[in-house]
Amino acid sequence: MNRWLTRGDWLLLGAVALLLPGLYAVYWHGSGQGLEARVWVDGKPWARIDLFREQHLDVPGVLGVSHLEIGNGQVRFTDSPCQNRQCIHTGWLNEGGDVAACLPNRVSVQIMADDPRFDSINF
Amino acid sequence: MTQLIQTTRDDHLIAWFTALAITIHIAESALPSPLPGVKPGLANVITLIVLCRYGWRMAVWVALLRVLIGSVLLGTFLSPTFFLSLSGALASVAILGLGWAVSRAVPGWAPGPLGFGLLAALAHMTGQFWAAYTLFIPHPALLHLFPVLMTLAAVLGIVSGVLTRSVLARLNSNPSIPTIST
């Protein structure tokens, strides 16, 4: 009782100082990058694409052809035959669960991951 | 026909300390909480005092009786709150038992009040979180809260350890309070 902290206390404080950042690392790692994306056309699965192979993809939709740009773990719409260009304005998708869709053309793309950020997204 | 139950001095000490812990427990339940599951844990200071003065066996009695009787008085007995509290208390006494065993086996590495406070708070939070996650809200999003809750638990555990230490210093300077357990 003479000392404020015993050797055991220091050991425990040290262990906790290591444990807490570890907990943040484990539970706050985010949903993680996905490795592949899936493309749907008119409600049906159309393709699975590797996000780390740079490529441009032409997806034949209901109205016309949507262009996808893929690479570096990301995917985005670059062109689509719709009016509002919502899909293009969505920008790059890079997190598990991210979705972009061109509803008029019935084309959508979603990044697949073990631990997606969202279960589903409704517009 | 009356039957007299023989009580020991330990029983009386347990009763007194439990009563004290329940009082604090109830007073504390009136405090608003910033986050569900976060409480200063002042009632746990009593458990720590009993642990440091009378050993683990009596601390277990005080901790578990406090949760049981405290919940009956607050009307939360067998409610989710009670189960969260109980799992926290069980995890807490388990880890304190481990710490106690270590301090018996290797006195050089015995934790002091602060170390025990830290252990108890972290174990309490883990037990409570585990119960909340498995029994009530098994949603992965809840796990994101775990590091934050554990950080708060560590801070509050250290605070309760400091409080325990200063109360112990006063108790030890008062010779009229029995110290040794049977």
pLDDT at B175: 75
Residues A8 and A56 in one domain: no
ipTM: 0.81
DSSP state for residue A23 in the 8-state scheme: H
pLDDT at B16: 93
Q: Is residue A117 over pLDDT 70?
A: no
- d(CA B5, nearest CA chain A) in Å: 37
Does residue A120 sit within a domain?
no
- d(CA A3, nearest CA chain B) in Å: 9
- Chain B residues within an 8 Å CB radius of A97: none
Residues A15 and A45 in one domain: no
> What are the extents of the domains in chain B?
9-172
Residues A23 and A45 in one domain: no
Residues A47 and A9 in one domain: no
Contact A8 B168 (CB under 8 A): no
Does residue A12 sit within a domain?
yes
Query: How many independent structural domains does chain A possess?
Result: 2
- Chain A residues within an 8 Å CB radius of B109: 6-8, 11
Range of the domain at A84: 36-112
Tell me the pLDDT of chain B averaged across its residues.
89
Residues A1 and A54 in one domain: no
User: With an 8 Å Cβ cutoff, is A18 touching chain B?
Assistant: no
Residues A76 and A99 in one domain: yes
Does residue A122 sit within a domain?
no
Mutation target among B118, B129, B145, B152 for the A interface, most CBs of A within 10 A? B118
The pTM score is: 0.70
User: What pLDDT, in 10s, does the model give residues A90-116?
Assistant: 888 887 778 888 888 999 998 887 665
pLDDT at A32: 56
Contact A9 B144 (CB under 8 A): no
Residues A48 and A106 in one domain: yes
The closest CB to that of B114, out of A5, A7, A24, belongs to: A5
User: What pLDDT, in 10s, does the model give residues A12-51?
Assistant: 999 999 999 999 888 876 555 667 888 989 888 888 888 8
Does residue A81 sit within a domain?
yes
User: What pLDDT, in 10s, does the model give residues A54-84?
Assistant: 889 899 988 889 999 988 888 999 998 888 8
Residues A83 and A63 in one domain: yes
- Chain A residues within an 8 Å CB radius of B110: 6, 8
Contact B140 A115 (CB under 8 A): yes
Residues A13 and A62 in one domain: no
- Chain B residues within an 8 Å CB radius of A5: 112, 114-115
Q: What percent of chain B has pLDDT over 90?
A: 63
- Chain B residues within an 8 Å CB radius of A16: 118, 122, 154
Report the CATH number at residue A94: 2.60.320.10
pLDDT in tens, chain B (182 residues): 677 888 888 889 999 999 999 999 999 888 887 777 788 888 999 999 999 999 999 999 999 999 999 999 999 899 888 999 999 999 999 999 999 999 899 888 889 999 999 999 999 999 999 999 998 887 777 888 899 999 999 999 999 999 999 999 888 887 777 665 44
Residues A71 and A107 in one domain: yes
Residues A51 and A5 in one domain: no
Which class in CATH covers the domain with range B9-172?
mainly alpha
Does residue A118 sit within a domain?
no
